[in-house]
Amino acid sequence: MSDISDANGMNRRDDMGSRDCVNCMCGKGDRDSKDSRNRSNVSPDDRQVSAEPRISGQHAPTGSKLVFIDIDGTLADEHHHVPQSAVDACRQAQRNGHLLFICTGRSLMKIEQSILDLGFDGVVSVAGARADINGRTLFEHLISPEAIDAATAYFREHDIRNYQWQGPDGMYVSRGYMQYLQAKGSAWKDPQFASRWHVIEDLDTHGQSLGASIRASKGSYFADRGNPTSFEDTCKALSRWFTAVPGTYGKISDNHGELLIPGVDKGTAVAQVARTLGYRIEDTIALGDGGNDMAMILAAGTSVAMGNGIEEIKQAADMVTDSVEDDGFAHAFSRLSLI
């Protein structure tokens, strides 16, 4: 396999058919074109949004690129291992004057310290709802209490036992999701994360609803095999409050997804960070593999899909590289002249 091959037909960004459900990216809806997405500047006014700091006189150095990197399935493999070739590529790209941002669906508190210690220039977390650079939060969006309560009620009504809410204070998980983590082992027992997990059923909400008691920027869930509720059903039911994208539990669930704040995603984060740091959108690069990467794949000036990525991402991206296990990350950096 060559390092990177062009995805066939850029016009496939617009050939996904008519949208079946509002605020849903289930694969049956249409995708915005890259040009129209870049013109979009959504700033939701019904949620808590911190002021975006402006860096006075900030201009990107000539030739410098602003690179946004997904973690799971892009930088790291399914065992959370970052290949040495990817580590070396990141360090060389930074020495060459490029800025590298993690851009992940995880909350900042859920990122392994070993990944943060690689020395990225900034972090976009919770699927674009928050960005941090040099210890400073550039922006943060929070889900409304009503939306959290509506989704939680839906999960309980439809016997979806495995769900979580991620935010600046920790990860709030259902008892079913806790049992999944315990069986999986590493994440629940890791001392870095142990104090950050909170079981929803054990919370003392002091008579308030769950939504009024926690702060969260993203939800995620998966239904047990055999649950008759489909992803499309969930999209439609929660479309008033969330944009739903496919999740990462496809091996164990037929209905799994992430619940994002409408108008806030990895793509809007790419645009906000680029503006703040003085980069033109055409000087941004995004690398991803999964459903919640679609927004940044469409938003960035140049986009790369991993060889292990989902087919929709490969069709939408400008380039397709090898899988993460086959040094696809480093190959992409080489082809893009970052190293």
Average pLDDT across each block of 10 residues of the chain; the chain has 339 residues. List them in order.
35 32 48 43 36 53 96 93 97 98 92 93 96 93 98 98 94 94 71 79 92 96 96 96 88 93 96 96 97 94 97 97 97 98
pLDDT at 18: 31
pLDDT at 36: 43
pLDDT at 117: 93
pLDDT at 184: 79
The CATH code of domain 145-260 reads 3.30.1240.10
pTM: 0.78
Q: In what order do the strands lie in the sheet with 243-246?
A: 197-199, 170-173, 162-167, 218-222, 256-260, 243-246
Please name the residues in contact with 306: beta carbons below 8 A apart, sequence gap of 6 or more: 73, 74, 287, 288, 289, 313, 320, 321, 322, 323, 324, 328, 329
Token digits of residue 66? 């602003």
Token digits of residue 270? 């790419």
CATH superfamily label, 4-39+64-141+265-335: HAD superfamily/HAD-like (3.40.50.1000)
**CA torsion angle for 284, 41, 18, 34 (degrees, to 10)?**
-20
Do 4-39+64-141+265-335 and 145-260 agree at the fold level? no
**Would you kindly state where each structural domain of the chain is located, as residue ranges?**
4-39+64-141+265-335, 145-260
Task: Please identify which residue in the block is written with the tokens 């928050």.
Answer: 130
pLDDT at 192: 63
